[in-house]
Chain A
Amino acid sequence: MSVLVYTESWGGNFRKSSFEAVSYASETAKLLGTDVIAISLGQVSDEQLNKLGGYGASKVITCAGIEKGDSQAATNAIATAANNASVIVFSNTNTATMIAPRLSAKLKAGAISNVITLAESTTPITVKRKAFSSKAIELITINTEKAILCFTPNSYQLIETGGSCSIETSSANEKGAITIQGQETASGKISLSEAEIVISGGRGLKGPENWGMIEELAEVLGAATACSKPVADIGWRPHAEHVGQTGKVVTADLYIAIGISGAIQHLAGVNSSKVMVAINTDPEAPFFKAADYGIIGDAFEVVPKLIQEIKKLNS
């Protein structure tokens, strides 16, 4: 019984979260004394598939004829590959959250989302997950023989093994009851849910015209941009950037909050980030209680200086 890992590609390329998933699967396989098999849906080059071997997959099953947005077809393809798997690993992306629970219902295999640790015990599989919008950590156990674990992007490190994998081509080409008409992705932008650094702005920035410096800071740090709920609600920034309890949850290495007071709903969405920085004129802003580092000061003075200092560091 192996560990099966779902790896997600966009435009023919795997994202970092897929390599994390393979690393997580590898470490899980070590606990169980078995090997890792990866499954990829859609057209992906052999060169990309081979990269999965470098993180510990011994074999990759590639299903070029299956579209991941078609959750019925994707679930059936993964279920076939999961015949000999005791654990199936997903990274908790918006697409995986469509497939993993379907797979759970199909196989009657317990599924756990938002996982943040390796299995604390393997008989039965028991892990920690985020619950109550990161306000709590839940210890939860799986009651079935097969287990499905969906871990939070950025909550597991990449471990390069230098290994290689064989490639098995699947001819599966099932179509479910849904047709994918197209995709729009902002090219060149870093995806918020898997960004290592996130620069986030709030109402303290006074208007959408002032986001230039936020974007510039993000650019020099290779970061994604985000915003607070009020900023998305008044239309200064797109909803896709809203982080917090009712928006996106980010698990960044570094989260810089600029002009964000730090309402409980906002903090819930960001407090699993490793390091948080608050920049705010108000010394009483709740964010200073949650942050690791802070500057009490005007964003319009501090941020341009910050950009200069980081440029100096980079050079």
Chain B
Amino acid sequence: MNIVVCISSVPDTTSKINFTQNNTKFDNSGIQFVINPNDEFGLTKAMLLKEASGGNVKVITVGDATAEPVIRKALAIGADSAIRINKVATDSYSTAALIASYLKENPADLIIAGKESLDYNGGAVPAMIAEILGLAFVNACNGMDISGVSATLTREIDGGKETLAADLPLVIGGQKGLVEESDLRIPNMRGIMQARTKPLEIIEAEEAEELTTSVSFERPAEKGACKLVESDNVAELVSLLHNEAKVI
């Protein structure tokens, strides 16, 4: 089975987010980049599928050279090869179109992406890839079993889950549940050494239409000071929530 995992290089979850160029661009100075957590669940699932029934795992990203440490980490975790489409991803559609264009030439049986990336949170790329390629798609996918060409999947719905079945090829937007946190792999020294020589192909980005344009960023309004209530005066808190905040 040929599995392609779409990965995105995102700021570590502990990062403080700043902007530059008059608040129009994300300031990446001093930021530690990691594999987008939703993508890491997908990559681990891909490794488990490969180990169970053979195949090949390729990671693909749209990004400039700053994405390479994260790609190497994916290779160290166990992906066989990597593709980097050389363009800073700025818009979901153009990103999806570039990946879909590669996949048209190099078809995969299973395309795993994360349900959203933790930077811009667009959550759109996997569904767009599925639409451009005309494939079935499951988002917020938190369970997948594959037997031959048949996949059984679960997706999170508001307040529960839905079970679906589809034949490969298929696109999923994965999340936690696909594998558990404890299944995630920390690259070992052997993996890190091997990753240095695994193939990483860089493809120049073709022209891709952008459907949206980011204008500027701001921070959410600062909260005022916290009003503390004595622990033996819980009635006061209820009164504040009822009369002042008017939320209960």
Contact = CB atoms under 8 A, between A and B. Distances in A.
A296 interface: yes
B237 A293 contact: yes
Interface in B96-136: 96-97, 115-116, 118-128, 130-132, 134-136
Contacts of B227: 292-294
Contacts of A192: 158-159
Interface in A65-108: 69, 71-72, 75, 93-95, 97-106, 108
A99 to B, nearest CB: 8
Given A106-B131, A178-B164, A274 B247 contact: yes
A276 B82 CA distance: 44
A213 to B, nearest CB: 13
B215 A105 contact: no
**Range, interface on chain B:** 35 or more
B121 A130 contact: yes
B140 interface: yes
A179 B157 contact: no
B161 A183 contact: yes
B6 to A, nearest CB: 14
In this complex, the interface size class of chain A, counting residues with CB under 8 Å from chain B, is 35 or more
B93 A105 contact: yes
A301 interface: yes
B229 A294 contact: yes
Contact residues of A: prevailing secondary structure: mixed
Contact of B209 (A108, A112, A271, A309): A108
B220 A295 contact: no
B57 to A, nearest CB: 22
Interface string B211-226: 1111111111001101
B37 A246 contact: yes
A106 B132 CA distance: 7
A98 B219 CA distance: 28
B155 interface: yes
B175 to A, nearest CB: 9
A275 interface: yes
A100 B212 CA distance: 14
A197 B160 CA distance: 19
A97 B248 contact: no
Contacts of A42: none
Contact of A132 (B119, B135, B155): B119
Contact of B124 (A113, A138, A193, A253): A113
Interface stretch (B45-53, B197-205, B238-246): B238-246
Contacts of B206: none
A245 B118 contact: yes
Interface string B170-204: 10010011000100000000000000000000000
Interface stretch (A30-38, A44-52, A139-147, A158-166): A139-147
A111 B92 contact: yes
A254 B92 contact: no
B210 interface: yes
Interface stretch (B13-21, B62-70, B71-79): B13-21
A181 B152 CA distance: 9
Contacts of B127: 71, 97-102, 105
A301 to B, nearest CB: 7
Interface in B137-156: 137-140, 142, 152, 155-156
A71 B137 contact: yes
Contact of A309 (B37, B120, B152, B235): B235
A291 B242 CA distance: 16
Contact of B121 (A133, A180, A186, A295): A133
B80 interface: no
B153 to A, nearest CB: 9
Contact of A178 (B13, B124, B166, B238): B166
A305 B236 CA distance: 11
B158 A69 contact: no
B245 A178 contact: no
A110 B211 contact: yes
A260 B162 CA distance: 31
Given A98-B138, A143-B213, A178-B166, A293 B131 contact: no
Nearest to A301: B231
A294 B13 CA distance: 25
Given A135-B17, A136-B220, A296-B231, A194 B176 contact: no
17 contacts: A69-B157, A98-B173, A101-B125, A104-B128, A139-B215, A140-B213, A179-B164, A180-B163, A181-B164, A183-B162, A194-B158, A240-B156, A246-B118, A277-B237, A293-B226, A295-B234, A313-B248
Top 8 nearest A-B pairs by Cβ distance?
Answer: A297-B231, A185-B160, A110-B211, A101-B124, A101-B127, A105-B131, A177-B136, A254-B247
Interface of A: 10, 15, 69, 71-72, 75, 93-95, 97-106, 108-114, 126, 130-144, 176-186, 189-194, 197, 221, 233, 239-240, 242, 245-247, 253-254, 264-265, 268, 271-272, 274-278, 288-298, 301-302, 305-306, 308-310, 312-313
